[in-house]
A and B are shown apart, each in its own frame.
Chain A
Amino acid sequence: MPEPLTTHTGVAAPLLRDNIDTDAIIPSREMKTTGKTGLAEGLFAGWRYLAPGTRDPDPSFVLNQPAYAGATILLGGSNFGCGSSREHAVWALAEFGIRAVIATSFAPIFFGNCVRNGICPAVLPPEAVAEIAAAAEAGSQVSLDVEAGTVSLADGRTWSFSLEAEARAMLTEGLDAIDLTLKLRDRIAAFHARDRAERPWIYLEEQA
C-alpha cells in the first residue's frame, strides 16, 4: 500500500518534452525482474546513462545535474507517460523517490498508475509549468498540497489543479482500491445474478 501523500515540498526537475513515453521512463531492457522493485536504477536509462546497458551518467541529463540531486518532483510536457501500459514506469519513479509529476497532460493509464502508487499527477497549463520550471531552475523548491489541489512556489505564486475525489482520497489516505471495492461486494453479487440471466455466455464456467 502506498504511503499517504498530503503535502510535499521538494526539488523539481524540468523535463519539458512532450510525449515522454513509458519506454523512455523505464526501457524494457531495464525491467529485469518479475517483481515491482529494483527498477530505480533503470529509470530514464536511455537518457540518464551514456551508453545502453552502462551506468556512466550522462552529465547533460537533468537528473544527473547537481542542482537536481534528490529531485522528488518531475515537470513534464504533454501526453506524459504515453506508450506501453507498463506500471514499471511508475514503480521506477516511486522507487527513485518521485512523489509528484506536474505536466500539461498525461496518458490515461499512466495517470491511474500514478494515483495507485502514491505519486500525485498534476495537470497544469503550459504557461504554469514553464513558470514553475523557470523557478526550479533558479533554485526554488516546489510545494504541493494534494488535499487543496495546489502547486505553489516559495514566493507565493500558486496554481490549482483538479483531481477527482476518489483519486485524491487514494493519495491522501493511502487507500487501497481493492479494499474500497470489496466494500461493494453485495452490489457486485447482485450485478452478477442479474447479468448471468441476461448474458449467460459471458460466464464460462457454466459452459465447461
Chain B
Amino acid sequence: MTGARWRRRWRRRLAEPRTLFAKLWDQHRVADLPGGAALIAIDRIFLHERTGAAALGGLKAAGRSVADPARVFCVMDHIVDTRPGRDDRTLMPGGQAFITETRAAAREAGLTLFDVTDPDQGIVHVVSPELGIVLPGATLVAPDSHTCTQGALGALAWGIGSSEAEHAMATGTLRVATPRTMRVTYTGKLGRGVTPKDMILALIARHEAGGGKGHVVEFAGEAVTALDMEGRMTLCNMATEFAAMTGVIAPDEATFDYLAGRRYAPRGAAWDRAVAHWRTLATDPGASFDAELEIDAAALEPMVSWGTSPEHSVAISGAVPGDAGDRPLAYMGLRPGEALAGLPIDAAFIGSCTNSRLSDLRRAAALLTGRRVAPGVKALCVPGSSAVKRAAEAEGLDKVFTEAGFEWRESGCSMCFYAGGESFPAGSRVVSSTNRNFEGRQGPGIRTHVASPETVVASAIAGRIADPRAIGEGADA
C-alpha cells in the first residue's frame, strides 16, 4: 500500500467509531502482515521462573539478546515455596533449578527481577498492577495464560508461549493475527454476597468454555464499572477460561486513582499527559463488535463448579446437571442431580491470581472473624503478593485467619497448581478461590470446586460446600 493510500485509509478509520480494542490495536500497529495479521509493539514483558529460564535460554542459544531490558520484568512465583521462612529450596522435585537458572538468566539479561525474598515478590498478575508496571493503553505479554487479568487496567495484556516471549524480547514486537471482538455487558447491580468471581463463572457456565474463542472480550455495563480495581482483575482473570485471547475494561477514574503514585506509573507532568491519553480509551458509541452478550448481574447467585472445566459451574443453590458427562462425574465423585451445597469437603484454599488480593482477604476475614474452620478441614490462605501479605498483617487479618484454623503462607502460586511438590492428600475435595478445576490441577486426584473467597470461607466453616449468604459477617471473637 502506498503512503498516501495508507493515510487515507487511516483517516477513514479514525473517523469511524472504534472499540477500545481497536484503539489499543491501532496505537501499537507497527506494520501489517500478510493474512490479516499485524506486527504489534509490546510495551511490557513479564516472565516468571516456571518458563523464564526456557525463554531466556532459548534467546541466548540463538545468539540473540533482549532489545529493551528496562521494559522486561521477572518474578519468582510459580515454583517458589510458600512455607514460612522459605528460600530457594522448594518441595517441587528439581524446582530449585528453575529458580536459580531464571535468576542467573534474568540478571545476565539486565531485567528487573523480583526475587524470592524481595519485598515486591508475588504472583506476576498481582505484582504487575501493584507496581504500576501494567498501564492503561499499554500492551503487556507474559508466558502465562492468566496475563489477561491485567486487562482490567485498560491494557491489552495477553498470555503467550515461550517462543513468542523470545520473539517479544528480541524484537519488542509480536506477530499477531487480528482477533475478533466481543462485548459482555453486565447490567444491573450484584446482590449481596455475589462477587466478580461469580460473574465470570456464570458467563462461562452459560456460554461454555470455548464461548469467547480467540476474541478480545470487553467487559462493560453497570455491574462492571461499579467494581473496584481488584474485582475487575478477578473478572478479567478468567477470560482465558472462556478461551478468549484476553479481557479488557475501559480505564476510568477508579483506574487512575488506583495507579497514582505506584512505582512504575508516570509522575508529574508525564502523569497528566498519560491520564489525558488514557481518558480517550473507551469504546465509542456506535462502535460494533463481532459478538455481544448480556448478563443480568442482579439475577446472579454465588457460583460453584461441579466438574473438571470451569464451564461445569452452577449457582450454589443448584445441582449437578442431569446430563453431566460420565468422565467429569467419575473424577469428581458426584452423581447427576446431586446438590452442591452440603457436599462434605476436605480442604479450603484461598489464593491465586484470581482472588488473593487485599480486598479478597478482607472480605474473607470479615466472614471468618470469631468463627472456626470445621474439624478435619485443611485450610490455607496464600496472599497474592508479599505486599498484600504485609498489608493484611498490618490490619491483623493474618490473626483472623490463623485463629480460625487457616494456615497463613508466604506469597506465591502455591497450590493453585500442582508441580509435583506440595498438594492436598490424594482424592481430597477442595473448595478453592482459584480459576481452574481441571483433572489433577491441584494434585493427583484432587477434586477442585472453584468459587469466590466468600464461598470458600463459608464452606471451610461448615465443613461442606456452603452459601456465603447464609452466614452474616463474623461474630465478634
| Chain A residues positioned under 8 Å from B420 (CB to CB) | 28-30, 32, 53
Contact A52 B57 (CB under 8 A): no
Q: Which residue of the partner chain, among A30, A31, A165, A199, contacts B137 with CB atoms under 8 Å?
A: A199
B340 to chain A, nearest CB (A): 21
Total A-B residue contacts, Cβ distance less than 8 Å? 183
| Measured CA separation A200–B271 after assembly (Å) | 10
Contact B167 A181 (CB under 8 A): yes
Contact B34 A166 (CB under 8 A): yes
* CB of A156 closer than 8 Å to a CB of B: no
Residue of A nearest to B49 (CB): A34
Contact A90 B161 (CB under 8 A): yes
Contact A187 B37 (CB under 8 A): no
| Measured CA separation A68–B58 after assembly (Å) | 33
Query: Given contacts A19-B209, A33-B94, A165-B34, is CB(A87)–CB(B438) below 8 Å?
Result: no
* CB of B88 closer than 8 Å to a CB of A: no
* CB of A83 closer than 8 Å to a CB of B: yes
* CB of B252 closer than 8 Å to a CB of A: no
Within 8 A of A (CB), among B222-270: 243, 245, 264-266, 270
| Chain B residues positioned under 8 Å from A207 (CB to CB) | 266, 270
Q: Contact flags (1/0) for A157-169 with B, using CB distance below 8 Å?
A: 0000000111100
A131 to chain B, nearest CB (A): 22
| Chain B residues positioned under 8 Å from A138 (CB to CB) | none
Query: Given contacts A83-B436, A85-B160, A178-B62, is CB(A191)–CB(B30) below 8 Å?
Result: yes
| Chain A residues positioned under 8 Å from B102 (CB to CB) | 34
Q: Which residue of the partner chain, among B41, B159, B266, B439, contacts A191 with CB atoms under 8 Å?
A: B41
Residue of B nearest to A27 (CB): B440
| Chain A residues positioned under 8 Å from B50 (CB to CB) | 31, 86
A43 to chain B, nearest CB (A): 14
- For A, the interface residue count at a CB cutoff of 8 angstroms equals 61
Residue of B nearest to A84 (CB): B145
Contact A181 B171 (CB under 8 A): yes
* CB of A72 closer than 8 Å to a CB of B: no
Stretch at the interface among B64-72, B348-356, B369-377: B64-72
| Chain A residues positioned under 8 Å from B271 (CB to CB) | 201
Q: Which residue of the partner chain, among B135, B175, B209, B273, contacts A82 with CB atoms under 8 Å?
A: B209
* CB of B35 closer than 8 Å to a CB of A: yes
* CB of B115 closer than 8 Å to a CB of A: no
Contact A181 B444 (CB under 8 A): no
Contact A85 B30 (CB under 8 A): no
Stretch at the interface among A4-12, A57-65, A104-112, A146-154: A104-112
Query: Given contacts A35-B57, A105-B213, A191-B41, is CB(A23)–CB(B441) below 8 Å?
Result: yes
* CB of B418 closer than 8 Å to a CB of A: yes
| Chain A residues positioned under 8 Å from B137 (CB to CB) | 199
Q: Contact flags (1/0) for A194-205 with B, using CB distance below 8 Å?
A: 010011111111
Query: Given contacts A32-B94, A34-B53, is CB(A204)–CB(B264) below 8 Å?
Result: yes
| Chain A residues positioned under 8 Å from B274 (CB to CB) | 199, 201
Contact B171 A188 (CB under 8 A): yes
Query: Given contacts A23-B438, A34-B97, A34-B98, is CB(A109)–CB(B41) below 8 Å?
Result: no
Contact B175 A188 (CB under 8 A): no
B209 to chain A, nearest CB (A): 6
Between A and B, 16 residue pairs with Cβ closer than 8 Å are A17-B327, A19-B309, A34-B53, A34-B57, A34-B98, A79-B210, A90-B161, A108-B213, A108-B214, A109-B159, A109-B160, A164-B35, A166-B37, A178-B62, A201-B270, A203-B70
Residues of B within 8 A of A (CB): 27, 30-31, 33-37, 39, 41, 43, 50-51, 53-54, 57-58, 62, 64, 68, 70-71, 92-94, 97-98, 101-102, 135, 137-138, 143-145, 159-164, 166-167, 170-173, 175, 177, 179, 209-210, 213-214, 243, 245, 264-266, 270-271, 273-274, 277, 309, 327, 417-420, 436, 438-441, 444
Not counting A83-B436, A198-B277, a sample of 9 additional A-B residue pairs whose C-beta atoms are within 8 angstroms of each other reads A33-B94, A46-B444, A79-B210, A166-B34, A177-B175, A184-B30, A200-B273, A204-B70, A207-B270
